[in-house]
């Protein structure tokens, strides 16, 4: 049989990761309901039988793109929250990466794929609701764990509540995602992110401030005479 007639399978150059990226972009732009199988197939360069064989139906494909996006977001969060990196620096990098992603898109700012599309679909789809809930919970647990370390090391005040701070950190991310999709400028988003970091981390504990001054001065006192 000639290779030209072999339309039943996937093309030899099939790249699952690239196909999922293209499917994600279709869903990101139009949401689940606004993305047809024809739109997805065209973007992924796959006919319907091939698409079903590789990824299942439209709902399964959407869930797979959400799971992939969530995993990538978690990897970024964990990397930037490395205890070897200052907490405030890590949070600023997370917000900066998020803003850059939220403002990107072939047709303009598109916000967060998870928040922007799953929050709507979750109303009538229990599987999407669970995935959205679990993803947000995972992000907050990662933030909480880093805040607990920061309390122990004196990086933030010992009275700070890691659970509450984790929720506030997530809330800033959600606000940035919605505002980006609504057309807010990069300057405003950066200002919100910076204000959020300062609010969340709070003032540096007095003990650490004194240590910094001593280091800059070289010694708290001169030699005895």
pLDDT tens sequence across 122-134: 999 999 999 999 9
Residue 46 has a pLDDT of 92
Mean pLDDT of the chain: 87
User: What's the DSSP call for residue 156?
Assistant: S
When pLDDT is averaged across residues 110-133 and rounded to a whole number, the result is 95
pLDDT at 188 over 70: yes
Pairs from 72-77 (Cβ < 8 Å, separation ≥ 24): 73/114, 73/135, 73/139, 74/135, 74/138, 74/139, 74/142, 77/139, 77/142, 77/143
CATH number of 66-214: 1.10.357.10
Higher-confidence residue of 122 and 207: namely: 122
Residue 224 has a pLDDT of 40
**For residue 146, what are its two tokens?**
């880093």
pLDDT at 163 over 70: yes
Least-confidence region, from 62-76, 103-117, 184-198: 103-117
CA atoms within 13 A of residue 26's CA, in its CB half-sphere: 24
Residue 151 burial (CB count, 10 A): 17
When pLDDT is averaged across residues 191-219 and rounded to a whole number, the result is 67
Residue 108 has a pLDDT of 82
How far apart are the C-alpha atoms of 193 and 2, rounded to whole Å?
58
What tens digit of pLDDT does each residue of 54-106 get? 999 999 999 999 999 999 999 999 999 999 999 999 999 999 999 999 999 77
pLDDT at 14 over 80: no
User: What's the DSSP call for residue 225?
Assistant: -
CA-to-CA dists, residue 54 to 22, 47, 72, 92, angstroms: 14, 11, 21, 38
Of 101, 130, 125, give the one whose Cα is nearest residue 113: 101
Total length of the chain: 225
Q: Give one DSSP letter per residue of 121-166, joined into a string.
A: HTTT-HHHHHHHHHHHHHHHHHHHHHHHHHHHHTSS-TT--HHHHH
When pLDDT is averaged across residues 22-40 and rounded to a whole number, the result is 95
Residue 206 has a pLDDT of 45
CA-to-CA dists, residue 205 to 150, 153, 178, 209, angstroms: 11, 11, 33, 6
Higher-confidence residue of 1 and 185: namely: 185
Q: How confident is the model at residue 215 (pLDDT cuts 50, 70, 90)?
A: very low
Q: How confident is the model at residue 107 (pLDDT cuts 50, 70, 90)?
A: confident
Residue 204 has a pLDDT of 60
How far apart are the C-alpha atoms of 113 and 28, rounded to whole Å?
5
SS3 195: helix
Q: Give one DSSP letter per residue of 82-110, joined into a string.
A: -TTS-HHHHHHHHHHHHHHHHH-STTS--
Residue 42 burial (CB count, 10 A): 13
How far apart are the C-alpha atoms of 12 and 165, rounded to whole Å?
49
pLDDT at 173 over 50: yes
């Amino acid at each position: 049989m000639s290779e030209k007639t072999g339309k039943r399978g996937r093309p030899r150059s099939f790249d699952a990761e690239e196909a999922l990226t293209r499917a994600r972009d279709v869903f990101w732009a139009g949401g689940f309901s606004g993305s047809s199988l024809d739109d997805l197939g065209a973007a992924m360069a796959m006919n319907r039988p091939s698409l079903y064989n590789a990824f299942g139906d439209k709902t399964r494909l959407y869930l797979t793109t959400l799971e992939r996006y969530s995993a990538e977001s978690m990897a970024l969060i964990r990397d930037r929250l490395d205890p070897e990196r200052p907490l405030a620096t890590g949070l600023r990098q997370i917000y900066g990466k998020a803003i850059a992603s939220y403002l990107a898109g072939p047709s303009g700012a598109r916000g967060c794929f998870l928040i922007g599309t799953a929050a709507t679909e979750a109303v009538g789809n229990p599987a999407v609701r669970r995935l959205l809930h679990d993803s947000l919970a995972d992000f907050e647990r990662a933030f909480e764990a880093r805040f607990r370390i920061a309390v122990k090391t004196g990086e933030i005040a010992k009275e700070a509540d890691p659970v509450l701070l984790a929720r506030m950190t997530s809330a800033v991310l959600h606000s940035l995602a919605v505002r980006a999709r609504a057309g807010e400028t990069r300057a405003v988003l950066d200002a919100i992110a910076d204000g959020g970091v300062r609010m969340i981390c709070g003032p540096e504990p007095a003990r650490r401030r004194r240590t910094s001054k001593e280091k800059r001065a070289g010694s708290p006192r001169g030699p005895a005479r």
